[in-house]
């Protein structure tokens, strides 16, 4: 086994660079590599920056967004203007690599930022240890949910008392990636969205600082259940409407915001959710035939009656 210092350093790199806890096998492997390199992180940083995960999650981000995301991963806040400008310049000039920058931001933490970093590192190691003890790994499908866990941690989070049992029940249930549209990456699949949502809900119930209140998340679940649909189907319907910009967790948040808007937009009622999504989709499809009832039928998701009334709300068309 690698030494404790190396394991800690690798966990720090996962949190700084990927914004998630290390998976057990990854932490051990890279800590062993760090021992072999006598503590030199350069080769490992380069490997992280050239990984499939980096390409899938961050390669599409512009430099300013990338730096801002590193701040949010480390400190849970946006970068201050001076810091953002400085690091964007350093990155664009080639003075630092993206991996060096991620670690520099994390290790430069002071005061409240340092307290957040220490809490997130502690939670990350608890998560990794729990995964190892239960013999559970996690992969692309679970990454946004693991990121959500760390995003919920701030300087006041009672890390040692958080119950990880419910989280791991969700992770175990999603251990085998389910079929997904080939146009999406695994972590942007309907199943990945459902796991992310369930993780947000579990954290909210424990009083953690999530993107949404537990009342909002429970209301979404209840309303979808009333409609006879579920998170995976809803994601599959709404996902084409969401622009592919930002990280996967940001895209998931926009998807959920869209669900909430659809459920709350007057004069729409809950039972019209799927119909409304189809109309939104057709509106964005630039298809002049989208108001034709026969065209609705070809969508194949719900039946649209010939007498359905269509009206406009905020620029969108609804049943």
Per-residue pLDDT band for 318 (boundaries 50, 70, 90) equals very low
* Helices and strands (DSSP H and E) totals, the chain: 16, 2
Residues 183 and 190: their CA atoms lie apart, in Å, by 12
Stated pTM of the model:
0.79
Contact 3, 39 (CB under 8 A): no
Give the separation between CA 262 and CA 224, rounded to whole angstroms: 11
Residue range 185-204: mean pLDDT, rounded: 85
| E strands in 48-137 | none
Q: Which residue has the higher pLDDT, 141 or 48?
A: 48
Which H or E element spans position 264? Answer: helix 248-264
144 contacts 19 by C-beta, under 8 angstroms: no
Question: CA dihedral in degrees (290, 292, 293, 294; nearest 10)?
Answer: -90
Q: Mean pLDDT in the chain?
A: 79
| pLDDT for residue 305 is more than 90 | no
Mean pLDDT of 82-110: 91
């Amino acid at each position: 086994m690698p030494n404790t210092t190396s394991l800690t350093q690798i966990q720090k790199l996962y949190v700084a660079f990927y914004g998630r806890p290390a998976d057990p096998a990854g932490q051990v492997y890279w800590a062993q590599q760090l021992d072999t390199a006598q503590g030199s992180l350069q080769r490992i940083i380069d490997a992280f920056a050239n990984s499939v995960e980096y390409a899938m999650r961050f390669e599409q981000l512009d430099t300013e967004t990338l730096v801002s995301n590193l701040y949010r991963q480390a400190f849970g806040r946006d970068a201050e203007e001076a810091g953002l400008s400085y690091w964007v310049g350093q990155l664009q000039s080639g003075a630092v690599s993206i991996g060096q920058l991620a670690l520099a931001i994390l290790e430069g933490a002071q005061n409240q930022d340092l307290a957040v970093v220490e809490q997130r590192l502690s939670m990350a190691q608890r998560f990794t240890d729990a995964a190892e003890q239960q013999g559970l790994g996690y992969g692309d499908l679970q990454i946004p949910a693991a990121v959500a866990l760390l995003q919920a941690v701030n300087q006041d989070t009672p890390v040692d008392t958080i119950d990880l049992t419910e989280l791991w029940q969700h992770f175990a249930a999603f251990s085998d990636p389910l079929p997904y549209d080939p146009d999406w990456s695994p972590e942007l699949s309907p199943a990945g969205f459902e796991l992310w949502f369930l993780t947000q809900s579990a954290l909210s119930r424990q009083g953690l600082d999530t993107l949404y209140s537990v009342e909002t998340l429970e209301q979404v679940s209840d309303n979808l259940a009333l409609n006879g649909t579920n998170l995976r189907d809803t994601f599959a319907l709404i996902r084409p409407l969401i622009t592919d910009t930002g990280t996967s967790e940001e895209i998931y948040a926009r998807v959920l915001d869209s669900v909430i808007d659809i459920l709350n937009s007057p004069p729409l009622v809950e039972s019209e959710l799927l119909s409304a999504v189809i109309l939104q989709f057709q509106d964005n499809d630039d298809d002049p035939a989208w108001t034709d009832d026969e065209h609705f039928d070809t969508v194949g998701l719900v039946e649209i009656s010939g007498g359905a009334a269509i009206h406009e709300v905020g620029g969108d068309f609804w049943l």
